[in-house]
Amino acid sequence: MKIKKPPHILVIHLKRFKYIEQLGRYKKLSYRVVFPLELKLSNTMEDADSEYSLFAVVVHVGSGPNHGHYISLVKSHNHWLFFDDENVEMIDESAVQTFFGSAQEYSSNTDHGYILFYESLGASSKS
């Protein structure tokens, strides 16, 4: 499948919850998903030069699907900002990596990237 015209904003939803039939409930999947700051979609786009830059991440904080909290990371004017309700602070770009997920299945880290927002770097999608 090829995408004829790449979107200006690309939204990627990471499936972080799975129904476990033996338990009769959903479980949060905390596995590590390394999402790049720059994304190239050359295999799925007719325009082989389609490039995107990550500009926002919605993070789910919590161990299960029925409870938790959402925070956001947003890139504005080449700086990353961390939004947690009324608390806003500037963070280093390398801090975005802490929201990739856990390298081990059982970890105390419950802060995981959930929804990724990329903006096209190409002029062709801005028309």
- Number of domains observed in the structure of the chain: 1
Residue 1 lies in a domain: no
Residue 4 lies in a domain: no
At 105, the amino acid letter reads E
Which residues are registered as beta bridge partners of 13?
A: 115
Q: Name which of 71, 70, 62, 72 is nearest 26 in CA terms.
A: 62
Residue 30 lies in a domain: yes
Residue 94 lies in a domain: yes
Which range has the worst mean pLDDT, 33-47, 52-66, 95-109?
A: 95-109
* Residue-number span of the structural domain to which 13 is assigned: 9-126
**Residue 32 · residue 101 · CB < 8 Å:** yes
Q: What tens digit of pLDDT does each residue of 73-125 get?
A: 999 999 999 999 999 999 999 999 888 877 666 556 678 898 999 999 975 44
Residue that is written with structure tokens 């991440």 in the block: 57
Cα 65 from Cα 91, distance rounded (Å):
27
Residue 3 lies in a domain: no
Report the CATH number at residue 69: 3.90.70.10
Residue 69 lies in a domain: yes
Residue 93 lies in a domain: yes
**Residue 80 · residue 93 · CB < 8 Å:** yes
What would the mean pLDDT of 66-73 be, rounded to a whole number?
A: 90
What would the mean pLDDT of 34-44 be, rounded to a whole number?
A: 84
